[in-house]
Amino acid sequence: MNHAIYTALSGAIANDKRFDIVSNNLANANTTGFKKSRVSFASMLPVQDEETKKINENRDVPDNFKKGVFNTFTYVNKVKTDFSQGYLKETGNDFDFAINGDGFFVVKDGKGNVKYTRDGNFVVNNNGTLVDRDGDQVLDTNNNPIKIPTENVKFVNVDEKGNIYVNDNLVAKMAVVDFQDKSKLSRIGNNKFINTDKNIQPKESKNYSVYQGYLEGSNINIVKEMTALIEIMRSYEATQKVITTIDTQIDQRAVNDVGRIV
């Protein structure tokens, strides 16, 4: 088998992975607080010496690639989250909040799992607890659920630092935290993240403002994502042509050379 087929095939597989990620970005273009994903590629080097073997051993690729690499392969190296700012859209709802700057709201589910999100679409439940759309409790700076009075409430105001005032009385301050290394945050669905490195604890964000009556939109640029999809499709088609061409050449050689009397 011509080894070049495997090189072309690795490119097709990598493009297929990138297609899924870009498609997911586009599907969430209108999701509140969504942060897009980005793909980085790398090459699996031919195994020629001990130094190259050590490099390949540290790559996140299948073991059979590490043991028997005889050509150069392309593969998806990392999928990173782009935490850049999304646009702010006004809703006018008292319990809609958007972060402009760095940081995340902190929520906790019924099992005690702490999560982080940029989606500030909150409501007050029947118990007077501020919760998100999944029913997870929104936490204050002391990691306690935020309680909002439900009787004789004339107005609710929230300042830029997340201090919540009910009838001009301070009742809580929403936690807005940030991480020095955001690469340790892992998506868990529903627009939330968890911290996968317990050695790195979040700290109160220093560079942020909370906007009441606003929600943060996604940071997706639809035009750029559509352009990326077109590029992926063209690249995928090119690798298919390469594989077809090589396969045709192999068939022709088999017909012409195999079984020839010399």
Judge whether 1 and 254 are in contact, CB under 8 Å: no
Q: Exposed/middle/buried for 49, CB within 10 Å: 0-12, 13-18, 19+?
A: exposed
Residue whose C-alpha is closest to residue 33's, from 191, 225, 256: 191
> Is the pLDDT assigned to residue 169 strictly greater than 50?
yes
**Which residue type, as a one-letter code, is found at position 35?**
K
Total length of the chain: 262
Query: pLDDT for 220-229, tens place per residue?
Result: 999 999 999 9
For position 55, what pLDDT does the model report?
A: 56
30: DSSP letter: T
Query: pLDDT for 81-138, tens place per residue?
Result: 999 999 999 999 999 999 999 999 999 999 999 999 999 999 999 999 999 999 999 9
Return mean pLDDT, the chain. 85
> Is the pLDDT assigned to residue 258 strictly greater than 60?
no
Q: 239 or 144: which carries more pLDDT confidence?
A: 144
**Which residue type, as a one-letter code, is found at position 250?**
I
Query: pLDDT for 36-70, tens place per residue?
Result: 998 876 665 555 556 555 655 665 555 555 555 44
Judge whether 140 and 114 are in contact, CB under 8 Å: no
Residue 5: both structure tokens together = 């087929």
> Is the pLDDT assigned to residue 236 strictly greater than 90?
no
d(CA 252, CA 14): 29
Judge whether 4 and 188 are in contact, CB under 8 Å: no
pLDDT, average across residues 192-197: 94
